[in-house]
Structure 1
Amino acid sequence: MRSRTSVFVGNLVFMALCMAAFPFFLVLGAAAWHDGEEWGWLVAVIGGVCTATIPVMAATATRQEFPGITRRDAVKGGRPSYGDDTFVMWAPRSQPGPVGAQLVRADVLEASLVRYSPDGEATFTTYCGNYAPAEFMPEIRLRLRVHAAEESEGAAGHGEFEVTGEWRVPPLCLSAITAGRLVVLVDPAGPAGPEGPGRVTVLWPRSTLLAGTRTCRVIDLEGRPAEVTRYLGRQLAQMRISRAVGGVEMVGDTIDLRLLEAGTAARYGALADRFRDCPEDRAPVTEPGEEARLLVDELPGEEAGFGTAGRRWSRHGGHLARGRFLEMRGRTTFQVHGPVLDTVLRIRPTDGTPPFDAARRLTVPMDYLAVLHHTKEVVLCVSPDGRSYAVDWQRTGLLAGLATAKVIGRDGREFSLPARSEALWPLMNLLASHGLSNPAPVLDLRRRRMGEVAEAVMEVVRDRGLEPTDHRA
């Protein structure tokens, strides 16, 4: 397991090699000034200033590459307090779409990655303004079943139909594909005239709402909150009202009718009354057929596994903890395997102290973003002194179900763990407490170094009622 110190030393050596000319200018200028050359002091100053930036640049690169979280990153006053079941996503805005287009639901039947090949070779690529570069958005081929509008707002609607096409998908919105529910605009005038459906435009941020990735609540005029997450009929109706009036602002994950214009608030209130009189069933977390839409094996990210652990780190009190994302906000900085996001993370220390919220800029892998509707949980490696936390994406990926975990007993029997199994967390802690590394998702107890934990691992497997998938002795 890499430490922050080792990462800093590596970056310091790299920066020193890249900027080796500046220490030479410092020595050359100082020597020339000592010999009475008037230009020597200028060269020495330039060389000294540039030399002094080497450790600063190394520290900056280390903070980006090894984003440790401490109590100093705790969220300060002035930000909203979120509940444990809240997730707020500030996603890029969608294009308004053609005038008169119908806002409807579309189910994702199949999805496959067409291409993702960013041109930049730098570790971090930053763009100015609010520019969303296409090369950092994977291009995905989708087969959609587009539903007819339940409420056409006076426009002529089209029946259900299927369409196949390729779309650039913002990384923050990948989970909407896995969940299988999108919000689309259908142009009323198709190639064959008004009788056929026209171009289909996907509204990605609204799709994450319909998918349930982003939580949504509504506070009525009397101040009563109502949960709207994964109530598809009500959400689509709300989106149509919002589009008709030019947009409705969400405060965090909440729409407060007391802050809206009177006419808009009245329409929202009437909608709430309608669904209160005729309740709808809550949609599942994901639609059937997820295996045909799951892109985690094609998207970039760290390989999921039981993780690495150093003996020294373990002996001195290093351990694992869990956290949960409460907020993600898109930026204009990207890495090849994921966007750099401003996040708020609720950390649950294991020493009995209360959970705290930390605001930290993190690179979030795309394969994890693709299952964000399933889980917002992360695994954190805690420093031996308990003061610093670092997100462990290997263990987080396995806990999120990015790979199928498997345990092979000493007798050769294989036990497959279901995605997001409760057995994963105790197994990870068991290995970490003994300083045992197992970066793969397969835990083979026949290896000699696993002897000290083999019986404890099998006890966890038996306690969870897991049956062997391979009965060979």
Structure 2
Amino acid sequence: MRSHASVFIGQFLFATVCLGVGPVFLLLGAAAWQGGEDWGPAVTVAGAAVTAMIPVVAVRATRQIHCRITRRDRLKDTGYGPYADDTFVMRAPSSAPGPASARLARADVLAASLVRYNPDGEATFTTHYGDYAPDEFTPVIRMTLRVRMTDSGEVPREEADFEVTDEWRVPSLCLSAVTAGRLAVLVDPARPEGRVAVMWPRSTLLAGTRTCRIVDLEGRVTDVTRRTGRQLAQMRISRDVGGVALTGDTIDLRRLAPDTAARYSALADLARTRPEDRAPVTEPGEEARLLVDELPGERGGFGQVGRGWSRRGGQLARGRFLEMRGRTTFQDHGPVLDTVVRVRPVDGTGPFDAARRLTVPMNYLAVLNHTRDVILRVTPNGRAYDIDWSRTNLLAGVTTATVITPDGHAIALPRRSDALWPLMNLLAYHAVSNPSPVLDLRGRRARPVAAEVLDVLRSRGLTPGHRPA
């Protein structure tokens, strides 16, 4: 992970090359001014203005590239009131409404694989106007779906479930719905071929990536996240009335039309008489549809540690994404999103929310149904927090971790193991840099911490020969 200073120096040199005419004009104008030339003052002012732009451009470019959260990013008002810790709001690209005759149903993802993703922007930022999901930045995924018609609630029972295999463009923000294995689809009975269209924002609701709460007419709040039967019924009501807005992650029945609120209230009454269990975080067979190895983004690792940063008191902290909003700017390895992050300082002070525009790796977006946690490197003075995507991706399960013991045995850690966080802190405290997901305790730098690492693993039941669940 490049430091903030190295990124700034690189951008400053780049800006100097691009705007190098400014210093030249400044020197030329100053010389002409001293020589009494009439055009000297004008050229001097122009050169000074262009030269002053060099640090400004460098600072802006560094802020765009480097994921640093500072005091200026602290959020006083999210616009929707205070968010709970388990809230996650997503503003994803909308899907086409589909024909009126189409039926809304649930589809289970049996298998998925990446077909193509080949933008031409390299590492630059590319902005599109009027299109939230341009084709070149939208991966094409081949999926096998089992469409569940028999429990769709609005079709004859004799209409059978069926399987379909096809290619779909999946907006990056919605990749976690594929990982979770639950999609909301429209089935058009008038089209025998290609009759299944995926409703991507609704799929993230059905997958449980986006949280959803209902405020009833009496003001009581009910969490319906991962209550798939109830959510499908709510989606059908929304489709019938032309859309029901989510305020943050909440639907307030007191703000709806009376007839729509009455239909939602009837669903709530039914749910109280026949409670529904929460669906799992991910449906069985996740390995057949887990795309993280095929998607771009930084690979997970235990993380790099600068000796100076560690010795001066640098630490790791944890945060959590509360909100992500799609924009029209993209990089090759992920979209640029407006995010709200809840940061938990390591000095014992209370958490704070920060609004920050970030490039979020696509492989991290694919596991948002599992976790929205993020790891931050705290500067020694405690005033700034740098998002560490390598450590974040390892903690999120994008990459699996392995520890090689001093006697050569391999200990494979389960995805999202609770041993990862203490191991990362241990290595950071002792200034042991290990950017890969394999921690080899036979190495010269890792040997001094081998005993403590093994103690952490043993305390969590991880021993040589352990097989991850």
* Range into which the TM-score falls when normalised by the shorter chain: over 0.9
Aligned to 1:448, what secondary structure does the other structure show?
coil
Q: Could you say which residue in structure 2 is the equivalent of 1:136?
A: 137
Q: Could you say which residue in structure 2 is the equivalent of 1:194?
A: none
Contact 2:226 2:279 in 1 (8 A): yes
Q: Could you say which residue in structure 2 is the equivalent of 1:82?
A: 83
Q: Verify: 1:271 aligned to 2:267, yes or no.
A: yes
Q: 1:457 aligns with which of 437, 453, 457?
A: 453
- Residues 3-12 or 462-471, more deviating: 462-471
Matching residue's letter, 2:13: V
User: How far off is 1:151 after superposition?
Assistant: 4.9
Contact 2:106 2:152 in 1 (8 A): no
| TM-score, normalised relative to structure 2 | 0.95
User: How far off is 1:15 after superposition?
Assistant: 1.2
Q: 2:351 aligns with which of 345, 352, 355?
A: 355
Q: Distance in 2 between matches of 1:395 and 1:122?
A: 21
Q: Distance in 1 between matches of 2:161 and 2:40?
A: 78
Q: Could you say which residue in structure 1 is the equivalent of 2:186?
A: 185
Q: Distance in 2 between matches of 1:259 and 1:424?
A: 44
Q: Distance in 2 between matches of 1:311 and 1:78?
A: 37
Q: Could you say which residue in structure 2 is the equivalent of 1:53?
A: 53
Q: Could you say which residue in structure 1 is the equivalent of 2:18?
A: 18
- Residues 441-450 or 33-42, more deviating: 33-42
Q: Could you say which residue in structure 2 is the equivalent of 1:96?
A: 97
Q: Verify: 1:313 aligned to 2:309, yes or no.
A: yes
Q: Distance in 2 between matches of 1:142 and 1:258?
A: 40
Q: 1:287 aligns with which of 275, 283, 306?
A: 283
User: How far off is 1:40 after superposition?
Assistant: 4.0
Contact 2:103 2:186 in 1 (8 A): yes
Aligned to 2:143, what secondary structure does the other structure show?
strand
Contact 1:102 1:152 in 2 (8 A): no
Aligned to 2:133, what secondary structure does the other structure show?
coil
C-alpha deviations, 1:303-331, integer Å up to 9, x for none? 10000001110010001011111111111
Matching residue's letter, 1:139: V
Q: Distance in 2 between matches of 1:51 and 1:102?
A: 61
C-alpha deviations, 1:179-221, integer Å up to 9, x for none? 0000011112024xxxxx7621111000000000001111111
Aligned to 1:184, what secondary structure does the other structure show?
strand
C-alpha deviations, 1:159-180, integer Å up to 9, x for none? 2111111111111000000000
Contact 2:132 2:327 in 1 (8 A): no
Contact 2:122 2:331 in 1 (8 A): no
Matching residue's letter, 2:46: I
Q: Could you say which residue in structure 1 is the equivalent of 2:146?
A: 145
Q: Distance in 2 between matches of 1:135 and 1:41?
A: 49
Alignment map for 1:146-295 (pairs within 5 Å) = 146-148=147-149, 150-151=151-152, 153=154, 158-191=159-192, 199-295=195-291
Aligned to 2:68, what secondary structure does the other structure show?
coil
Q: Could you say which residue in structure 1 is the equivalent of 2:322?
A: 326
C-alpha deviations, 1:357-387, integer Å up to 9, x for none? 1111111100000000000111110000111
Q: Distance in 2 between matches of 1:369 and 1:226?
A: 27
C-alpha deviations, 1:412-435, integer Å up to 9, x for none? 111111111111011000000011
Q: Could you say which residue in structure 2 is the equivalent of 1:2?
A: 2
Distance 1:376 1:470, change over 3 A: closer
Q: Distance in 2 between matches of 1:2 and 1:299?
A: 22
Distance 1:398 1:102, change over 3 A: same
Distance 1:158 1:135, change over 3 A: farther
C-alpha deviations, 1:14-70, integer Å up to 9, x for none? 111222223222322333444444444443333322221111110001111112112
Q: Distance in 2 between matches of 1:414 and 1:160?
A: 44
Q: Distance in 2 between matches of 1:271 and 1:29?
A: 76
| TM-score, normalised relative to structure 1 | 0.95
User: How far off is 1:355 after superposition?
Assistant: 1.0
Distance 1:401 1:116, change over 3 A: same
Q: Distance in 2 between matches of 1:423 and 1:37?
A: 72
Unaligned runs of 5+ in 1: 192-196
User: How far off is 1:451 after superposition?
Assistant: 1.8
Q: Distance in 2 between matches of 1:16 and 1:312?
A: 29
- Residues 153-162 or 78-87, more deviating: 153-162
Q: Distance in 2 between matches of 1:282 and 1:470?
A: 30
- Residues 455-464 or 4-13, more deviating: 4-13
Aligned to 1:298, what secondary structure does the other structure show?
coil
Matching residue's letter, 2:55: P
Distance 1:243 1:157, change over 3 A: farther
Q: Distance in 1 between matches of 2:31 and 2:165?
A: 71
Contact 1:319 1:432 in 2 (8 A): yes
Q: Distance in 2 between matches of 1:446 and 1:8?
A: 36
Matching residue's letter, 2:297: G
Q: Distance in 2 between matches of 1:355 and 1:345?
A: 10
Contact 1:178 1:290 in 2 (8 A): yes
Contact 1:188 1:198 in 2 (8 A): no
User: How far off is 1:76 after superposition?
Assistant: 1.2
Q: Verify: 1:408 aligned to 2:400, yes or no.
A: no
Q: Distance in 2 between matches of 1:5 and 1:403?
A: 28
Contact 1:320 1:429 in 2 (8 A): yes
Contact 2:177 2:209 in 1 (8 A): yes
Q: Could you say which residue in structure 1 is the equivalent of 2:122?
A: 121
Q: Distance in 2 between matches of 1:15 and 1:161?
A: 57
Alignment map for 1:29-40 (pairs within 5 Å) = 29-40=29-40
Q: Distance in 2 between matches of 1:277 and 1:268?
A: 15
Q: Distance in 1 between matches of 2:144 and 2:37?
A: 73
Q: Distance in 2 between matches of 1:151 and 1:143?
A: 19
Contact 2:68 2:384 in 1 (8 A): yes
Q: Distance in 2 between matches of 1:42 and 1:155?
A: 81
The CA RMSD over aligned residues, in Å, is 1.8
Q: Could you say which residue in structure 1 is the equivalent of 2:44?
A: 44
Contact 2:228 2:279 in 1 (8 A): yes
Q: 1:378 aligns with which of 362, 371, 374?
A: 374
Q: Distance in 2 between matches of 1:91 and 1:274?
A: 30
Contact 1:148 1:157 in 2 (8 A): no
Distance 1:287 1:252, change over 3 A: same
User: How far off is 1:152 after superposition?
Assistant: 5.7
